[in-house]
Amino acid sequence: MSDELLDARPTDLLELDELWSFVKARCHKVWTWIALCRRTRQVVAYVCGQRNDKTCTDLRCRIPTAYFNLATYSDYWSSYAEVFDPTTHRSVGKHTGLTNHVERFNATLRNRLGHFTRKTLSFSKKKENHEAVLHMFLLKYNQDMRIKWVTR
């Protein structure tokens, strides 16, 4: 997925957020954690799992090295404060507008993929299939964002 990413700049910012969906049944929640570059609107890393420190650590480890030391913004979920470097990470409220882009991306994801719609009959029976659908969407999304930047 990192092949489609535009080069990181030192002034870039990452916005972090998580959203839930489910696999097999509504009682089996799967959380998708996302790191989005504010300037390019590309998803630089994602991971599916539980809503805990381990999954947040997995997200941190998946961020490409070019983006690894950039400033990050997230909501007040405690895992972000535990995992991300406190010198570069800030937890902020929605009223600040510093996570607007990733929140907007989550809305786009819920709008375009039936698997992420809250009240749906469209869901995966296996977590692997759920992640495959998400991965294919993100490849196309990042490619589209790259084309927008290259043609500017």
**Which pLDDT score, from 0 to 100, does residue 21 have?**
86
Pairing of strands 71-74, 13-22: parallel
Q: Tell me the three state secondary structure of residue 86.
A: coil
The answer to whether the CB of 68 falls within 8 A of the CB of 44 is: no
Q: CB within 8 A of 134, min separation 6: which ones? A: 32, 46, 48, 113, 115
User: Looking at residue 130, what is its pLDDT?
Assistant: 87
Domains of the chain, start order: 13-151 (3.30.420.10)
How much is the pLDDT for 48? Answer: 96
Closest residue by Cα to residue 8 from 85, 81, 63: 63
With cut-offs at 50, 70 and 90, classify the pLDDT of residue 2: low
pLDDT-above-90 percentage for the chain: 71
Round the average pLDDT of the chain to a whole number and report it. Answer: 91
Q: What is the reported pLDDT for 102?
A: 97
Tens of pLDDT, residues 23-74: 887 778 899 999 999 999 999 999 999 999 999 999 999 999 999 999 999 9
122: pLDDT confidence band, cut at 50, 70 and 90? low
Could you give the 3-state DSSP secondary structure of residue 21? strand
